[in-house]
Amino acid sequence: MTRLLIIGPPGSGKGTQAEKLARHFGVPAVSTGDIFRTNVSQETELGNQAAGYLDDGDFVPDQLTNALVKDRLLDADLQEGFLLDGYPRTATQVAELDTMLASQGFALDAVIELSAPDAVLEQRMRRRAADQGRTDDTVDVFRRRLDLYHRETHEVVSVYAGRGMLVPVDGSGEPGEITELAIAAVEKFLATPSPRA
């Protein structure tokens, strides 16, 4: 029964690591970015509302994002644990998530922060643009996403650091190596009694 978050800038390999970590910890990974992209490609109402924000590298409005996560957290497959990827991204979303989890009687166990230098992130984005063709993987949109990350998501990291829940992981190496580092760091963190317990 593990409830985890993973936070990291665009290009940090957050999605890749989320999948691998979720498998290791035996919980489903929930990526708000993936959910939005699926909805955009299926042209659902949510997708049509979100598409422009994704293409511009802007955050989808909180009202849509919070409602999406709130619904998803009630699904049967998440009652025994989950790994959230891409949410919360703003201080407001942290407060929303706190409320959602409290109403379900849940609490997070750890928050993984993946980091890598901006130059590494941009280089990876260029490679991914060639491989995957994501509409938000152009240099301009990528820089906007990175800028938003530094401006807004930094606060999210600070909040969880203040709660003593942050597990920093160096995301600048090869994917397999990062997974090993992350698993070791999270397991060590979970095995260490919390000072608040």
Please give the residue ranges that form the binding site for ligand ADP (CB under 6 A).
10, 14, 32-33, 36, 53-54, 57-60, 65, 86-87, 89, 93, 136, 145
Rounded least distance, CB 156 to ligand ADP, Å: 10
Annotation says 128 is catalytic: no
CB of 96 to ligand ADP, least distance (A): 10
Active site residue 143: no
Sheet-wide strand order for 110-115: 29-31, 82-85, 3-7, 110-115, 166-170
127 catalytic? Reply is no
d(CA 120, CA 125): 9
Q: With 0-12 CB in 10 A as exposed, 13-18 as middle and 19+ as buried, what is 121? A: buried
* From 14, 20, 37, 124, active-site residue: 14
**Catalytic, out of 3, 37, 124, 145:** 145
**CA distance linking residue 135 with residue 56, whole number of Å:** 9
Q: Which is nearer to ligand ADP, 60 or 169 (CB)?
A: 60
Catalytic residue chosen out of the listed positions 20, 37, 72, 89: 89
The CA distance from 6 to 172, in Å, is 15
Say which residue the tokens 């970590």 belong to.
21
- CB-nearer residue toward ligand ADP: 49 or 190: 49
Q: Which residue lies nearest ligand ADP, judged by its C-beta?
A: 33
How far, in Å, CA of 84 to CA of 19, rounded? 10
Cβ 188 to ligand ADP shortest distance, Å: 25
**Cβ proximity of 181 and 113 under 8 Å:** no
Please indicate whether residue 126 is annotated as part of the active site: yes
| Annotated catalytic residue 72 | no
Minimum CB separation from ligand ADP for residue 1, in Å? Answer: 24
Catalytic residues: 14, 89, 126, 134, 145
